[in-house]
Amino acid sequence: MLRSAGVLAWRTTRNGGAPRGAFCGIGHCHECLATVNGRPNRRLCLLPARPGDAVTTQEGTGRAELAV
């Protein structure tokens, strides 16, 4: 759904902030991580979208307290 809307990147890398999006589409690579309903590190390629879901860009680890 995001891809069809033209959204190709929904997280940034931990080091350098490079944009990342879907790569494998089957849950192996973890490039599709985003924050969903306040929970970071959710794999969008495996997670069914539901009405009302709040999907936001994940920056780095998605957990500021763990960022190095």
Query: How confident is the model at residue 47, as a pLDDT?
Result: 87
User: Is residue 59 one of the residues assigned to a domain?
Assistant: no
User: Is residue 9 one of the residues assigned to a domain?
Assistant: yes
What distance in Å separates the CA atoms of residue 23 and residue 50, rounded to the nearest whole number?
A: 22
Number of compact structural domains in the chain: 1
Domain containing 19 equals 1-32
What distance in Å separates the CA atoms of residue 32 and residue 50, rounded to the nearest whole number?
A: 17
What distance in Å separates the CA atoms of residue 2 and residue 66, rounded to the nearest whole number?
A: 27
Q: Which tokens in the block code for residue 34?
A: 């985003």
Query: How confident is the model at residue 51, as a pLDDT?
Result: 93
What distance in Å separates the CA atoms of residue 11 and residue 14, rounded to the nearest whole number?
A: 9
User: Is residue 11 one of the residues assigned to a domain?
Assistant: yes
* pLDDT tens per residue across span 3-60: 677 777 777 777 888 887 777 777 787 777 888 998 888 888 888 889 999 988 777 7
Q: Would the pTM of this model clear 0.75, i.e. be above it?
A: no
Higher pLDDT, 12 or 64: 12
Query: How confident is the model at residue 63, as a pLDDT?
Result: 62
